[in-house]
Amino acid sequence: MKKQTLANSKPLMGKIIDKQEECDDTYNFLIDLPVKNKTAKPGQFVMLWVPGVDEFPVGVAGYENDVLELGIAKMGPGTTAMLAKNIGDFVGIRGFYGKSFQTPKNINHLLIGGGFGMTPLKFLTKNLIERDDNLSIQIFEGARTKSKLMYLDWLQNLHEKDQIIFNVCTDDGSFGYKGFPTVALEKFLEESETPSVLYVAGPERMMKVIFDIGKKYENVIDMQMSLADRYMRCGFGICSYCAVDPTGWRICVDGPVFNTKQLEQISDFGVYRRLDTGEKQRI
């Protein structure tokens, strides 16, 4: 029980050691953390403090040798300030917070992402390709247009090496097929005779659509979706601004990844979210 008391701390100051443009308005950062032996798992997130500006949750894109990888897309004042940071600058990190994706053996791993949601899926992809007990690893990525596709080169390269199957699409047809990731996903599920687990991260409205699709297929044995883009303050379950109804689960601690059984109990999933005031807002 002793370990349960506040196993976290004030922001740890990490130094940015690399910054690469990933796609339009999106950069990949490598941050050297001053701690040892702290492991992160795919699906977990950190609270990223941009000193003097804001603090917000970001899905972990990778963690190796005390170096944290984060993908940041321009969304508001906090992310904009982060994109202005350069190698050598310090930013604050709290975490790693939340529950990770659970990955069974001998199944098709279907990773579906949109926008910012691709960051935890990158980490998951990296972990899965190191294993030899997968039926297949498939990525379904969609974006408005080619320049908004995250990790495009990296995923294409893995596809060419036959490590994954990369299904890519854009709303405007500028890359991949024209349409939504659900088209390729449904096509696969219709034809597949083997069990699959869906891992989804992205806008909640998209996740709800995928959830409803997944429920139609018996070969989908579980769906795990990350609700990490809800508003959060503390990250460790004390403030509860991120809690869902009617269960009172805190996304930061009891999530952000929830499975099919849990998602079915969350009445606000895809319907409304709570704002920084605690008021409900339709999704």
Partner 1 sequence: MSLITKIGSIDIRNPLILASGVMGTSYSTLQRIYNGGVGAVVTKSIGLNSRKGNPNPSVFALNEIRSAINSVGLANPGYQVFREDVEILVKNHVPTIVSIFGENENEFSEILNGLKDFPVLAFELNLSCPNTEKGGIQIGTDSEAVFQIVKRLKSETEVPLWVKLTPNVSDVIEIAEAAVNGGCDALVAINTLKAMVIDIHTKQPILGFKKGGLSGAAIKPIGVRYIYDLYERFEDRIPLIGAGGIMSGEDVIEYLLAGASAVQIGTALGVAYPENMIKFFISKIKKYMRENEFKSISEITGGAH
The residues of the shown chain that bind partner 1, judged by CB under 8 A, are 1, 4-11, 13, 47, 49, 51-52, 54-56, 90, 92, 94, 233-241, 243-248, 250, 253, 274, 276-279
Nearer to partner 1, 13 or 271 (CB): 13
Beta bridge partners of 13: 92
Using alpha carbons only, give the angle 98, 103, 105 rounded to the nearest 5 degrees: 160
Nearer to partner 1, 6 or 261 (CB): 6
Minimum CB separation from partner 1 for residue 281, in Å? 11
Minimum CB separation from partner 1 for residue 271, in Å? 14
Nearer to partner 1, 62 or 95 (CB): 95
Minimum CB separation from partner 1 for residue 70, in Å? 17
Nearer to partner 1, 94 or 148 (CB): 94
Nearer to partner 1, 24 or 66 (CB): 66
Minimum CB separation from partner 1 for residue 269, in Å? 13
Minimum CB separation from partner 1 for residue 283, in Å? 16
